Amino acid sequence: MNFIQRVVYTLLSLKERGLRLRLDKHLRTSATNSTSKTVIAGNCSLTLNTQTNKNIELVKQNMFDIVKNSNFTSDFLLDLIKKRGVKVIYLKDAYKFLALMSEEEGLIFERKGFTALMLNLLAGNGFSLKSKPLFILEKGNNDFYFLLFHLYKLHGYFQKLPGFDFKAQELFKLYSRNPEKCDLSQLGFEDMTALKEAIARDNEASGFVIEVSKSREGAKNALSKLKDGGANL
């Protein structure tokens, strides 16, 4: 085999390998994360997520305990965030700085590449192309429910719930910016499962904040009626 033939053969082999990998990506029928496994067989799917569900309930119960002890003060939540080793950075015009990296104010999970480098420099973590979770807030932004939402997700991250890994969060960012125009047809089964988990974690955090908010408003109304001498609660 002469040199030209070897080159052609090598290129064809690489092309075949690439096609095989893409085919495998779309035909893969199982996806596994830290606590769950989903398998597809024909038109049926089976998800083994007992441990995931247990962890979800554990996170929710722990967060209710946190709210109970917080007296609805933002400083209490911020102290908990810092105790978990997550830096909290207040930044003037935070949204402008974060927009340059397609990020939003609040909790930013692990990032890689240029974004990670910028975040590490901002946090004083040196030069690294991989960053740890970080809180970036606009100066003066201490809204209790805003912090509660992000703390819920952070608690889920430390509880090792699926959906918080780098790939899942990157997919979630793309989806959440414009879900109607986000093309999911190119995603393999594993990526689709990762995105599904990330969306679920976000919905759980939102649902928890709404539940706490309604409960607090209900308690306020009941207390107000008691003070007014009303008997019909």
Is 231 part of any domain? Answer: no
pLDDT at 23: 47
More confident call, 181 vs 94: 94
pLDDT at 82: 94
Is 18 part of any domain? Answer: no
Listed range (11-15, 108-112, 171-175) with the worst mean pLDDT: 11-15
Give the residue-averaged pLDDT of 166-183.
83
Is 188 part of any domain? Answer: yes
Is 96 part of any domain? Answer: yes
Give the residue-averaged pLDDT of 13-41.
54
Give the residue-averaged pLDDT of 30-58.
66
User: What is the domain count for the chain?
Assistant: 1
Phi-psi group of 24: left, alpha or beta (phi > 0 → left; psi -120 to 50 → alpha; rest → beta) = alpha
Say if CB 39 and CB 46 are below 8 A apart: yes
Is 66 part of any domain? Answer: yes
Predicted confidence (pLDDT) at residue 50 exceeds the cutoff of 80 = no
Average pLDDT, the chain: 80
pLDDT at 179: 72
With CA atoms as reference, report the closest residue to 94 among 140, 149, 151, 145.
140
Is 149 part of any domain? Answer: yes
**Strands of the sheet with 134-138, listed across from one edge:** 87-91, 134-138, 106-108
Is 100 part of any domain? Answer: yes
Q: Which of 10-24, 84-98, 182-196 has the highest mean pLDDT?
A: 84-98
In three-state secondary structure terms, 47 is: strand
Predicted confidence (pLDDT) at residue 140 exceeds the cutoff of 70 = yes
Give the residue-averaged pLDDT of 38-54.
62
Is 14 part of any domain? Answer: no
Domain that holds residue 79: 33-224
Give residue 35's pLDDT band: very low, low, confident or very high (50, 70, 90).
low
